[in-house]
Amino acid sequence: MFSSKKSNAKASYSTTTLIAKGTVIRGDLSFTGAIYLEGRIEGTLRADGDDACLTLSDQGAIVGEIHAPRVVLNGQVKGDVHASERLELAEAARIEGDIYYKVLEMAAGAQINGKMMHQAEAPRRLPAPDVSAAGAEPA
């Protein structure tokens, strides 16, 4: 009745693009919002925007690199995956390439044939101290 499994793939996006089963795209693809892929893409996928999400179904395939903040994979990928925020690998995910991630969720059965590289957050810069106040004489 209740499931403890969460899916971030179904976040509230105003537009979700569907690439249906049987569709083959050859060439690079840039997208905003969310994209749900049941077909095949041969080329680089690049997300524009900090909230973009790519979801690859168990019947989908990508031959090329992926660059997106949020990536949910349940199909086959031949190429490197760069997830700047979150990478979720479902049980049918098959990756032949390196993965770069900040947060990784991997289900039992998912397979990676490549390197796993954690991308730490860039160090935050603190504001410089106010040198004019530090050098002043007390009154």
Domain coordinates in residue numbering, the chain: 14-112
Cα–Cα distance, 38 to 59 (Å, whole number): 6
What pLDDT tens digit does each residue of the chain (139 aa) get? Answer: 444 444 444 455 567 899 999 999 999 999 999 999 999 999 999 999 889 999 999 999 999 999 999 999 999 999 999 999 999 999 999 999 999 999 999 999 999 999 999 988 766 677 777 777 555 555 5
Among 96, 105, 29, 123, residue whose Cα is nearest residue 68? 29
Cα–Cα distance, 138 to 54 (Å, whole number): 59
